[in-house]
Chains A and B, each alone.
Chain A
């Protein structure tokens, strides 16, 4: 599985760049123009000490500019709400609120997703070195954390998409664990 993904990544990386002038700025503009909406997601977490990856599924809703809701349905219902600078996690009828800025690891997660969805070029640039490959139709953006506190947790984030749609986000953690979030737009 892992090997296949890496192969896929290599393939993606060497994608013939038809439109070589395609820049991160262009991508960001097209992402920023996306009106938001709901997607279904499947998240696969590969943890070294586990024999099989953990899969969770659910729905994500993005409302520009800064509201992101992630509703996990399986295996355990959970609701993650990111609204402006507050992250709320609801689980087992418990509610946890985090003000961002307290936790670099959460910030890394939040900034990558929100930055991508909103096309916040500057927010992304502040925290990551970015590398773009592909064409406006099929692109892969790789982010490497600049901050050493974030880098202690996440080695690399790889985002792949088609046009203004993000299709997958892959986190490669510093400890080798990896998680892949694949999203599928909900057909209206």
Chain B
């Protein structure tokens, strides 16, 4: 071996060792941050925060089936007991009415600090009369049963007003004292995890805790047919991660085995096989290192995508062995390397366009592929010749090549039919352009249909804790945020009045700011004054002032009552409610107010534009989570279109600069264009729901497929196409098709889309390039 070769080998070895070291340190993740924008708008930022740490993302819905209603209720109570005691959950609700009693107790004890009706006017003579008259009128109604027990201590009905505030969100039915589905066949519970939504490990632990606790309770009670259903964002996150992990492992193994099998069949030499996989392994390693370096974390999907790259990166070694085996390394570097290099560059151009994607997953895929291909090519060019300077005796593939050439000769007769077919496909696609692309980000979700159905079912059973519309208020501290929220309240009430929104939840409803609590205390008259006013106010009323001494005492006590703090709500269930709406974030405090659509517009949602307008200048940010997601997807799709076009333009530029001939350029481009048209038409015809990853796949088809055209172009350029080179191309194409095609079996939409596009696309690009290649001279 030459001294230079040793140097190359040492550098390569050092780089590989360093790479392995870095990969060992890399963080791998399979969570949804793959899809979250790297450069978000304020609305998207707020959405991302909700997804990562919002209370909605921490909510698990549990359903208990099997046994009879009483058994289910007992299971529900016992499970709640266990989960309450477990650190994984902040709180568990199952509709048990003792909780309701404790809520009522807290509200009753703090009603004069909590009720927005407490103003000086309320405690004037006319105000008191008005309020007690209202209560008496309420007493005549069926709802009166709720206020009757407290009439004498709360004749102004503050408790009633507070209870009404609790009624904003719908509650599920109760059977045997615990929540149940409409048909009564399923007990329901809500569990708030302590772990953030983005903490998939924590979510997984919480879900496992729920399942194992249920199992323990089930065995304790001896209910063999009882089962626990769990759904919620955490479940989907954990499942997505599991799906991605298991599929990436399974498909990688399968794909690699197939490729190895193909290579063994061709090389018939384990040594060549090992050498041939060297560039691929180096490229894959380099890809992970690059991504880990730039992004900090490596998505499992990116690693899965690496599988596809094996099929592509292995090509260079195939060319090298097949061609250099016959003519020697030096001649190969002179005759074939420029073509391979151009192929590498077009691939790099295609992948490189993705680097600018705001969709972080896409950026990673681009960086991984670009680094991988580049390193694989460099290792082929510099390391392989160092290891095998004069090539190795590879089986002569010329007979295969000649058979292929004969086949291609037949294919050439199909040129016109294919052109006509492509034209028809083109016209059809233009007609179909409206429904061609899926406008919904849900196409990227790994969630299975039956899981989504279960989620929808439980959500409906729960009375739909809908959280599509949010108002986010930020501030430096808890008090500041609460004051801001209170300043917003009149505007929100006006919106309810106008029917623009059906209602809203607010943390200030159960935890008013200290300023407001003090103002309410100040509005309360002292005992003597109140007694005096009551005497006048209640003259002629069925409720005489003389009976209202408990009221006077309550008000007097409330004047010096310690202010209500978050701690006072603990254990009542209200602490969960407030905790879900008010939280400390890295940059201060934040209140999140869910807005409920008006009842009649539940399906259509609310008029976001008018609501946002009505709240403009208030300092609160109105977010329509679905709208944000849609706009996010739109922006991703728009971006993918531009990046793909840019990538294609870059590939074109490279070809123009290298080929410097319009006929040659056209002969490379025509098969590619036909492949793209036929591919889209074929996918659409097959009922594939096209989305932005298919678009990215098309870019890769162009980037990868142009390589074939370039090799065939050598024929036109007078180099002639050796039968062995044709065989090498066919094998290279086969490995690429296997690598990408394997991804099409994935249920992860991102991987599936790329696989189903690039797998068949690469094959079509090769076949069409062969079909439209001129029948040149043969050696």
Known: A50-B542, A54-B136, A96-B164. A89 touches B141 (CB 8 A): yes
**A99: chain B residues within 8 A (beta carbon):** 170-173, 463
**A105: chain B residues within 8 A (beta carbon):** 145
Q: How far is the CA of A177 from the CA of B233 in the complex (A)?
A: 49
- In contact, A102 and B173 (Cβ under 8 angstroms): yes
Q: How far is the CA of A175 from the CA of B173 in the complex (A)?
A: 27
Q: How far is the CA of A96 from the CA of B503 in the complex (A)?
A: 12
Interface status of A160 (Cβ within 8 A of chain B): no
Q: How far is the CA of A70 from the CA of B164 in the complex (A)?
A: 21
- In contact, B142 and A109 (Cβ under 8 angstroms): yes
**What's the minimum C-beta distance from B647 to chain A, rounded to whole angstroms?**
55
- In contact, A80 and B142 (Cβ under 8 angstroms): yes
**A93: chain B residues within 8 A (beta carbon):** 497
Interface status of B137 (Cβ within 8 A of chain A): yes
**What's the minimum C-beta distance from A138 to chain B, rounded to whole angstroms?**
28
Interface status of B577 (Cβ within 8 A of chain A): no
**B136: chain A residues within 8 A (beta carbon):** 50, 54, 75
Interface status of B125 (Cβ within 8 A of chain A): no
- In contact, A47 and B141 (Cβ under 8 angstroms): no
Interface status of B326 (Cβ within 8 A of chain A): no
- In contact, B599 and A95 (Cβ under 8 angstroms): yes
- In contact, A51 and B173 (Cβ under 8 angstroms): no
- In contact, B140 and A153 (Cβ under 8 angstroms): no
Q: Which of A50, A72, A85, A94 makes the CB contact (< 8 A) with B141? A: A72
**A47: chain B residues within 8 A (beta carbon):** 139, 148, 151, 542
**What's the minimum C-beta distance from B95 to chain A, rounded to whole angstroms?**
8
What residue of chain A has the Cβ atom nearest to residue B152's Cβ? A49
Interface status of B143 (Cβ within 8 A of chain A): yes
Q: How far is the CA of A99 from the CA of B184 in the complex (A)?
A: 12
What residue of chain A has the Cβ atom nearest to residue B142's Cβ? A109
Interface residues on chain B, number (Cβ under 8 Å)? 32
Q: Which of A54, A72, A78 makes the CB contact (< 8 A) with B542? A: A54
Interface status of B543 (Cβ within 8 A of chain A): yes
**What's the minimum C-beta distance from A125 to chain B, rounded to whole angstroms?**
19
**Chain A-chain B contacts (Cβ-Cβ < 8 Å), number:** 78
Known: A94-B164, A175-B148. A101 touches B140 (CB 8 A): no
- In contact, B142 and A102 (Cβ under 8 angstroms): no
**Contact flags (1/0) for A170-186 with B, using CB distance below 8 Å?**
00000101000000000
- In contact, B141 and A80 (Cβ under 8 angstroms): yes
Residue from the set B140, B172, B543 with the largest chain A CB neighbour count within 10 Å:
B140
Interface status of B480 (Cβ within 8 A of chain A): no
- In contact, B599 and A101 (Cβ under 8 angstroms): no
Interface status of B285 (Cβ within 8 A of chain A): no
Q: How far is the CA of A9 from the CA of B138 in the complex (A)?
A: 28
**What's the minimum C-beta distance from A103 to chain B, rounded to whole angstroms?**
8
Q: Which of A52, A76, A85 makes the CB contact (< 8 A) with B137? A: A76
Q: How far is the CA of A107 from the CA of B585 in the complex (A)?
A: 44
What residue of chain A has the Cβ atom nearest to residue B145's Cβ? A105
- In contact, B164 and A54 (Cβ under 8 angstroms): no
Q: How far is the CA of A102 from the CA of B182 in the complex (A)?
A: 12
Q: How far is the CA of A54 from the CA of B171 in the complex (A)?
A: 31
- In contact, A97 and B141 (Cβ under 8 angstroms): no
Interface status of A43 (Cβ within 8 A of chain B): yes
Q: How far is the CA of A68 from the CA of B173 in the complex (A)?
A: 20
- In contact, B141 and A101 (Cβ under 8 angstroms): no
Interface status of A91 (Cβ within 8 A of chain B): yes
Interface status of A45 (Cβ within 8 A of chain B): yes
Q: How far is the CA of A177 from the CA of B136 in the complex (A)?
A: 14
Q: How far is the CA of A105 from the CA of B95 in the complex (A)?
A: 16
The bracket for how many chain A residues form the interface is: 20 to 34
**What's the minimum C-beta distance from B318 to chain A, rounded to whole angstroms?**
68
- In contact, B140 and A45 (Cβ under 8 angstroms): yes
Residue from the set B137, B497, B599 with the largest chain A CB neighbour count within 10 Å:
B137
Interface status of B612 (Cβ within 8 A of chain A): no
Of residues 122 through 145 on chain B, the ones whose CB sits less than 8 Å from some CB of chain A are 134, 136-145
**What's the minimum C-beta distance from B66 to chain A, rounded to whole angstroms?**
20
Interface status of A106 (Cβ within 8 A of chain B): yes
**B139: chain A residues within 8 A (beta carbon):** 45, 47, 54
- In contact, A50 and B174 (Cβ under 8 angstroms): no
Q: Which of B167, B463, B543 makes the CB contact (< 8 A) with A96? A: B167
Q: How far is the CA of A91 from the CA of B146 in the complex (A)?
A: 15
**B544: chain A residues within 8 A (beta carbon):** 51
- In contact, B141 and A91 (Cβ under 8 angstroms): yes
**Contact flags (1/0) for A13-55 with B, using CB distance below 8 Å?**
0000000000000000000000000000001010101111111
**What's the minimum C-beta distance from B172 to chain A, rounded to whole angstroms?**
7
**What's the minimum C-beta distance from A70 to chain B, rounded to whole angstroms?**
8
Interface status of A142 (Cβ within 8 A of chain B): no
**Contact flags (1/0) for A61-99 with B, using CB distance below 8 Å?**
000000000001001101010000100010101111101
Interface status of A155 (Cβ within 8 A of chain B): no
Interface status of B278 (Cβ within 8 A of chain A): no
Q: How far is the CA of A123 from the CA of B366 in the complex (A)?
A: 67
Interface status of B175 (Cβ within 8 A of chain A): yes
Q: How far is the CA of A72 from the CA of B542 in the complex (A)?
A: 20
- In contact, B140 and A54 (Cβ under 8 angstroms): yes
**B172: chain A residues within 8 A (beta carbon):** 99
Interface status of A165 (Cβ within 8 A of chain B): no
Q: Which of B140, B171, B175, B543 makes the CB contact (< 8 A) with A75? A: B140
- In contact, A97 and B145 (Cβ under 8 angstroms): no
**A76: chain B residues within 8 A (beta carbon):** 134, 137-138, 140-141
**What's the minimum C-beta distance from A44 to chain B, rounded to whole angstroms?**
9
Interface status of A56 (Cβ within 8 A of chain B): yes
What residue of chain B has the Cβ atom nearest to residue A88's Cβ? B599
**What's the minimum C-beta distance from B714 to chain A, rounded to whole angstroms?**
75
**What's the minimum C-beta distance from B72 to chain A, rounded to whole angstroms?**
14
Known: A54-B542, A95-B599. A102 touches B143 (CB 8 A): no
**What's the minimum C-beta distance from A176 to chain B, rounded to whole angstroms?**
11
**Contact flags (1/0) for B562-606 with A, using CB distance below 8 Å?**
000000000000000000000000000000000000010000000
Known: A51-B542, A95-B599. A101 touches B142 (CB 8 A): no
**B170: chain A residues within 8 A (beta carbon):** 97, 99
Q: Which of A89, A94, A100 makes the CB contact (< 8 A) with B142? A: A89
- In contact, B141 and A78 (Cβ under 8 angstroms): yes
What residue of chain A has the Cβ atom nearest to residue B497's Cβ? A93
Q: How far is the CA of A55 from the CA of B136 in the complex (A)?
A: 10
Q: How far is the CA of A45 from the CA of B172 in the complex (A)?
A: 31
Interface status of B2 (Cβ within 8 A of chain A): no
Interface status of B660 (Cβ within 8 A of chain A): no
**B145: chain A residues within 8 A (beta carbon):** 105-106, 153
CB pairs A–B below 8 angstroms (16 shown): A45-B140, A47-B139, A47-B542, A51-B542, A54-B137, A56-B141, A75-B137, A76-B137, A76-B141, A85-B173, A91-B138, A91-B143, A99-B171, A101-B174, A105-B145, A109-B142
- Given contacts A52-B542, A102-B171, list 11 more A-B pairs with CB under 8 A: A51-B543, A53-B542, A56-B140, A76-B138, A89-B141, A91-B141, A97-B170, A101-B180, A102-B174, A153-B145, A175-B148
